[in-house]
């Protein structure tokens, strides 16, 4: 849901979001972790997300998620908070995002 008066970065129209592109983006473990974190915190900048990678890497992955239609990003001064496009994705692919964020992560190896 967009707030009136906010400026948003470009993102794909809902009708042009492709499930294969979304699934390919979420196959990356860093992007999947970002999505799961955003599901909990609702909205965050890359600096505020607790990630085990460099800030530039988080920023890159948020850009990929935005370009494939998973997140939307608004401009707030120098900050770029992102949030899941939960409602949009639910309309386009019912149950997909919920299944992804609620799936139990695999156990880490020895």
Q: Report the candidate in 27, 53, 41, 22 with the shortest Cα–Cα distance to residue 82.
A: 41
Q: Smallest Cα–Cα separation from 86: which of 17, 29, 28?
A: 17
CB 15 within 8 A of CB 80: no
- CATH fold of the domain at 18-100: Arc Repressor Mutant, subunit A (1.10.10)
User: Using an 8 Å Cβ cutoff, are 69 and 17 in contact?
Assistant: yes
Please state the pTM of the whole predicted model.
0.90
Three-point CA angle 69, 59, 89, nearest 5° = 15
Least confident range from 1-5, 24-28, 56-60, 93-97: namely 1-5
For the chain, the domains span: 18-100
pLDDT for res 3 = 52
Give mean pLDDT, residues 20-45: 96
Query: Confidence class of residue 108 from pLDDT cuts 50, 70 and 90?
Result: low
The sign of the torsion formed by the CA atoms of 39, 57, 106, 68 equals positive
pLDDT band at 90 (very low <50, low <70, confident <90, very high): very high
């Amino acid at each position: 849901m967009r707030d009136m008066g906010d400026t948003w970065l470009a993102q794909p129209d809902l009708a042009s979001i492709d499930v294969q592109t979304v699934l390919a983006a979420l196959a990356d473990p860093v992007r999947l972790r970002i999505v799961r974190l955003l599901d909990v915190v609702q909205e965050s900048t890359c600096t505020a997300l607790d990630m085990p990678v460099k800030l530039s890497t988080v920023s890159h992955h948020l850009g990929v998620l935005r370009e494939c239609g998973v997140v939307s990003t608004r401009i707030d001064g120098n900050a770029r908070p992102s949030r899941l496009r939960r409602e949009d994705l639910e309309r386009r692919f019912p149950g997909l995002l919920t299944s992804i964020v609620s799936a139990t992560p695999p156990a880490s190896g020895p």
